Structure 1
Amino acid sequence: MSYNLTNGKLPTASSFVFPYVPSRTTDGAITAPQDRWLTTTLPAALMVDLQSIYYVNRWVVSNLGATGWPTTYNTQGYSLQCSLDGQNWSTVDTVSNNAASATDRSFSPVLARFVRLYIASNSGMSIHPMYASIARFEVWGDLSTSGYLTSLTISAGALTPTFSKTTYAYSSTVGFNVASTTVTAVLEDTNAQLKINGVGAVSGQPSNAIPLAVGNNTITIQVTPQTGPVQNYTITIARPDSTKLTSLTARDNLNNPISLKPSFDSNTTFYNVCIPQDSTATVLNITPVKEGVNATIGVNGTAVTSGTPWPVTIPAVGGSVSVPFKVTAPQVTDTTYTVNVAKATSAYLQSVTGIPGVNFVKTTYDYTTSITTTKVKATVIPEDTSATIEVTINGTSVPYTQRLIYTPNTGLNELMIKVTSSFGGDSKTYAFHITKS
């Protein structure tokens, strides 16, 4: 349905003669001969702000003949001009050599917020070519017809710039872990047709999930109004590649799993690996697994295949070697995961004497014995005199000295001795279960 969009709006004019002010052309029906706008200065323009953007397709001009004046007072020529910003104008239709008391003309729909009636020099009344007077100025359009959106959002993040219905291109950047997005577009005219990436969509409801490849992804939003041109919006979503690892594991050449410390986390980039001092393994195989699609892994410039073990010669006792796994990808900052491989010094006890019933062997870690003495006098000597030794008796930590003297309780007593090597972090724990009768 078409409406008179200028009706009730407050127009302005380049000039007028009081009391024939511009508002008389849009204030309702013609009621008297003085109900008109008059200018004695040409060229002149009568402008109306429609206060929103519409598709206009018809204009009506009532001259003085429509108010009862002779037809010689009708304006001879005028044009309809349209603008979106009130500054840049385009001529839509022109009436020339007019003698009629009213003109009513239609044209192909034009998008406009501002409309104006423009009268050129010497185009006024035939009786006074430099005077012009208009009784009624009407511009018609379909209020329900719009090719605009009122809102546009994505589930993956925010749009840049902030949404405006007359801004058609947007961008956003997501993380590598964002593999898809939905788009929600809200139509200004619910009778318009909406398509997202060529697939029909419902105004105000999320689209189907749209996969996001690594790189730039362009999503199109097409609005087809009932009247007027199709409006096309685009969103370009950048999904950068990743320079992180999803896994980093180690096994020695005897196929024993070797723990990383701390446990692997893709955001942690430094790890220690300790090979026990008595291990006979000679090679540690470290396997990195990349996350990025186009990412590459290298160690000191040599390519490493994701998921394939990288061999590292295990150093001698007390030695260490650092292995930098550098992960690179186009247009993304490199990430380097460093694994420090060390061969531990001894974490064994060399001897434990003085505990009745205990025949100590350094590779045996659990002992049970019974005593009748009132005190235990144990001599504890590590193989590596620089090792760290922690002693607990019945759950209570006590200072370590080579000569441990304590009074056991009646019943079961627990003596725990933990030895941590001075280099590499290997540790052994010896448990002595001593029952006093």
Structure 2
Amino acid sequence: MGINLALNGDITASSYVDPYAPGRAVNGIVSDPTSRWLCAALPGWLCVDLKKSCWVGQWTVNSIGSNAGWPENYCMTSFRLESSLDGTNWTIVDSVTGNTDNICTRVLLRPVCARYFKLWVPGEGGLQVNKSAASVMELELIETDVAVLTSLAIKDKNGSTVTLTPVFHSDTLSYTANVGFDSDQITVIPVASNTTATVTVNEQTLVDGKASVGVNTGSNGVEIKVISAGGNIVTYQVAVTRASSPYLSSVKLAGIRFSGFVKTTYSYNLSTSTLVSTAVTPTTEDPEAVCVITLNGTVYNSSQPIPLSNGMNPINLVVTSKTGVDNRTYVFNINKNI
């Protein structure tokens, strides 16, 4: 383990009893009975701003019991550690209840990367001798060495790079991505910061630096673990949504003899010399997909008469997937000859 990131850090509190200000809980002094934070009311908290995102793998709450002459039952009993990247959205990292140790050290199963860390004390979670009072002599946040990803790329079935949201950053652990209906398989290409680290994708080891993952229509979880030589694990999560079908399975045009429709053929040339209108009746492969029919910018409903002008009439059918992001455009060019 590394240095104590909280030492002499930028710290605030929900409240304090003067002169026992929050800064006394991160000054490194555990032998002076006045070097402690005393909360004015519970629930209460201490918050440390590390000024940048850091990896913490261990934390310690040093109570006033057994320090500077205090009895052993002056230990904190219940508290938890929370983390935040932005100081607004918080995640519970670790919780302690029924504590009887005056030096309570916790090693995290998974290191946590954050800028802000909060020691939160619930009502009646204070000192063993008086649970309505909270006093902490020292809060420690111990930095840990971890291997992280320096880059993460996902390719769809066609080899195109998939957009990650948000943009990839080593310290950001959760992402979303969308792939088209045709991509029933993706390729995940993670690169670790340390060549001695082991990287897995959904528990698969990498082959030539990548892993193939099958994806179903809808949401799919992709978990990338980076395991350092020392055993620390950093886990990245990507929620990949594969779109539902944006294809037509069939289409009928009233009054026009038409056969040979293929769902992956998107342009058709047809002709008529007698019709003044036609009606298009499409059937989508996915009954919940949306099909919009237009001619020269005017929208028509399914089976609604569409007037035909002399010359070329390009009728567009745009099919949009119900789930995810995908669409197909079919064009029926109807040439009306006089």
TM-score, normalised via structure 2 length = 0.55
1:232 to 206, 229, 237: 237
Identify the residue that residue 136 of structure 1 maps to in structure 2: 138
- 5+ unaligned residues in a row in structure 2: which ranges? 263-268, 273-309, 321-327
Q: Which has the larger radius of gyration?
A: 1
Taking structure 1 as reference, are residues 232 and 304 closer, same or farther at Cα in structure 2, changes over 3 Å only? same
Counterparts of 1:297 and 1:222, CA distance in 2: 45
CA contact (8 A) 1:198 1:220 kept: no
Identify the residue that residue 305 of structure 1 maps to in structure 2: 260
Instruction: Give the CA deviation at 1:12.
Output: 1.5
Identify the residue that residue 363 of structure 1 maps to in structure 2: none
CA contact (8 A) 1:16 1:37 kept: yes
Taking structure 1 as reference, are residues 208 and 199 closer, same or farther at Cα in structure 2, changes over 3 Å only? same
Matching residue's letter, 1:163: V
Counterparts of 2:109 and 2:6, CA distance in 1: 18
Instruction: Give the CA deviation at 1:116.
Output: 0.7
CA contact (8 A) 2:56 2:111 kept: yes
Superposed, which structure 2 residues align to 1:162-201 within 5 Å?
162-163=166-167, 165-172=172-179, 184-185=189-190, 191=197, 193-195=199-201, 200=206
TM-score, normalised via structure 1 length = 0.45
CA contact (8 A) 2:77 2:99 kept: yes
Counterparts of 1:102 and 1:208, CA distance in 2: 44
Instruction: Give the CA deviation at 1:110.
Output: 7.0
Counterparts of 2:187 and 2:122, CA distance in 1: 51
Aligned residue-pair number: 273
SS of residue matched to 1:225? strand
Instruction: Give the CA deviation at 1:118.
Output: 1.4
- Over the matched positions of the two proteins, sequence identity in percent amounts to 16
Instruction: Give the CA deviation at 1:187.
Output: 5.2
Taking structure 1 as reference, are residues 199 and 240 closer, same or farther at Cα in structure 2, changes over 3 Å only? farther
Instruction: Give the CA deviation at 1:15.
Output: 1.6
Counterparts of 2:132 and 2:94, CA distance in 1: 23
CA contact (8 A) 1:298 1:325 kept: no
1:334 to 311, 330, 336: 330
SS of residue matched to 1:233? strand
CA contact (8 A) 1:63 1:133 kept: yes
Superposed, which structure 2 residues align to 1:47-196 within 5 Å?
47-49=47-49, 51-52=52-53, 54=55, 56=57, 58-65=58-65, 67-71=67-71, 74-84=74-84, 86=88, 90=92, 92-96=94-98, 98=100, 101-106=102-107, 108-109=109-110, 111=112, 113=114, 114-118=117-121, 120-121=123-124, 123-124=126-127, 126=129, 131-140=133-142, 142-144=144-146, 152=153, 154=155, 156=160, 159=163, 161-163=165-167, 165-172=172-179, 184-185=189-190, 191=197, 193-195=199-201
Counterparts of 1:44 and 1:211, CA distance in 2: 47
Taking structure 1 as reference, are residues 166 and 181 closer, same or farther at Cα in structure 2, changes over 3 Å only? closer
User: Larger RCO: Structure 1 or Structure 2 (Cα < 8 Å, ≥ 6 residues apart)?
Assistant: 2
Instruction: Give the CA deviation at 1:193.
Output: 1.1
SS of residue matched to 1:224? strand
Instruction: Give the CA deviation at 1:196.
Output: 8.0
Counterparts of 1:153 and 1:13, CA distance in 2: 43
Instruction: Give the CA deviation at 1:80.
Output: 2.1
Superposed, which structure 2 residues align to 1:204-219 within 5 Å?
none
Counterparts of 1:169 and 1:297, CA distance in 2: 38
Matching residue's letter, 2:94: V
CA contact (8 A) 2:81 2:95 kept: yes
1:297-342 alpha-carbon deviations (Å, 9 max, x no partner): 97944332379xx9999xxxxxxx9898989796544312346789
Counterparts of 1:180 and 1:14, CA distance in 2: 50
CA contact (8 A) 1:24 1:37 kept: yes
Identify the residue that residue 223 of structure 1 maps to in structure 2: 224
* CA-based RMSD: 5.3
Counterparts of 1:208 and 1:103, CA distance in 2: 41
Counterparts of 1:180 and 1:101, CA distance in 2: 53
Counterparts of 1:297 and 1:43, CA distance in 2: 68
CA contact (8 A) 1:189 1:225 kept: no
Counterparts of 1:149 and 1:131, CA distance in 2: 45
Instruction: Give the CA deviation at 1:79.
Output: 1.4
Structure 1 position 10 matched with structure 2 position 10? yes
